[in-house]
């Protein structure tokens, strides 16, 4: 939702009305829907992390369901080792996405109504046909930008749209926390599966299996030292 909102509004704008004119008639100019400096990387990183997590979880679950009875693949040492590394890598990626989102949110600038009014007034005073400007002070994340704009009187015509996007951004940032917890829980299960899982011998000893030639269904089993 964040990335699509940015792409949809990259070249769009809305009518911004000045609100500090000492009783004079408000001036309306076109202001860009997005600021000049906007953090893009956190949204892209979160999207990549979500896609990888979904596909990894779905693939792992599918393999477990298909191979549950025989266990020729999921019981092998190679499978448990590889799935552990994949889940650990994924959990690190999700954690990095969460940290980047929170860091950029804390360091984001805030909308200054006075500056926007000044820019709009200067554009109105000039006798040219260019009545468009883009907010260019500071760097924003989309949550801060949309949450600030929803309360600006001069942006009344788009307050509802920014309000909806503000709620989406707040919810998206909050949902990353359980997402990280689940990713690290899966990584922990993967570590446990490598250390304590696998086949057991007749005396209860753990057997280390290496699957060789999956396409031929061959498997070699050697006792773990």
29: left (phi over 0), alpha (psi -120 to 50) or beta: beta
* pLDDT tens string 53-84: 889 888 888 888 887 766 667 777 788 888 88
CA–CA gap between residue 8 and residue 107 (Å, rounded): 25
CA angle 8, 10, 14 (to 5 degrees): 90
Highest mean pLDDT out of 69-73, 137-141, 198-202: 137-141
| pLDDT tier, 216 (very low <50, low <70, confident <90, very high otherwise) | very low
Whether the per-residue pLDDT at 98 is higher than 60: the answer is: yes
CA-based nearest residue to 50, from 167, 168, 178, 179? 179
What per-residue confidence (pLDDT) applies to 198? 52
Which tokens hold the place of 45? 């990183």
Residue-range definition of the domain harbouring residue 24: 2-223
* Strand pairing class (199-200; 206-211): antiparallel
* 220: phi then psi, degrees, rounded to nearest 5: -110, 140
Model pTM? Answer: 0.74
pLDDT higher for 141 or 205? 141
Contact yes or no for 162/146 (Cβ under 8 A): yes
CA–CA gap between residue 122 and residue 138 (Å, rounded): 20
CA–CA gap between residue 23 and residue 26 (Å, rounded): 8
Q: Name the domain count of the chain.
A: 1
CA-based nearest residue to 143, from 99, 111, 180, 177? 111
Whether the per-residue pLDDT at 178 is higher than 90: the answer is: no
Which tokens hold the place of 36? 């000049």
Whether the per-residue pLDDT at 164 is higher than 90: the answer is: yes
Which tokens hold the place of 42? 């956190």
What per-residue confidence (pLDDT) applies to 199? 52
What per-residue confidence (pLDDT) applies to 218? 40
CA–CA gap between residue 215 and residue 203 (Å, rounded): 31
* pLDDT tens string 19-36: 765 556 777 888 999 999
| pLDDT tier, 172 (very low <50, low <70, confident <90, very high otherwise) | confident
CA-based nearest residue to 135, from 154, 111, 151, 168? 111
| pLDDT tier, 217 (very low <50, low <70, confident <90, very high otherwise) | very low
* pLDDT tens string 143-156: 999 999 998 888 88
Tell me the percentage of the chain whose pLDDT exceeds 70: 79
What per-residue confidence (pLDDT) applies to 37? 92
Which tokens hold the place of 147? 């949450």
* 90: phi then psi, degrees, rounded to nearest 5: -65, -40
Q: Whole-number mean pLDDT of the chain? A: 80
Helices 159-196 and 142-149 cross at an angle (nearest 10°) of: 150
Tell me the percentage of the chain whose pLDDT exceeds 90: 24
């Amino acid at each position: 939702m964040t990335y699509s909102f940015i792409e949809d509004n990259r070249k769009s704008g809305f009518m911004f009305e000045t609100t500090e004119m000492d009783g004079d008639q408000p001036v309306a100019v076109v202001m860009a829907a997005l600021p000049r400096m906007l953090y893009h990387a956190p949204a892209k990183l979160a999207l990549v992390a979500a896609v990888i997590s979904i596909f990894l979880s779905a693939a792992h679950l599918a393999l477990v369901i298909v191979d549950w009875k025989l266990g020729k693949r999921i019981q092998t040492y190679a499978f448990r080792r590889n799935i552990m590394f994949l889940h650990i890598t994924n959990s690190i990626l999700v954690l990095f996405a969460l940290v980047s989102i929170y860091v950029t949110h804390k360091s984001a600038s805030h909308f200054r109504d006075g500056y926007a009014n000044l820019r709009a007034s200067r554009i109105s005073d000039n006798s040219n046909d260019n009545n468009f400007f883009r907010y260019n002070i500071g760097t924003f994340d989309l949550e801060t930008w949309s949450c600030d704009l929803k309360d600006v009187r001069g942006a009344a015509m788009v307050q509802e749209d920014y309000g909806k996007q503000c709620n989406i951004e707040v919810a998206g940032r909050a949902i990353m926390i359980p997402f990280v917890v689940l990713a690290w829980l899966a990584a922990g299960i993967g570590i446990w599966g490598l250390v304590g899982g696998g086949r057991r011998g007749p005396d209860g000893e753990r057997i280390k299996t290496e699957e060789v030639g999956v396409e031929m269904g061959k498997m070699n089993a050697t006792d773990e030292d």
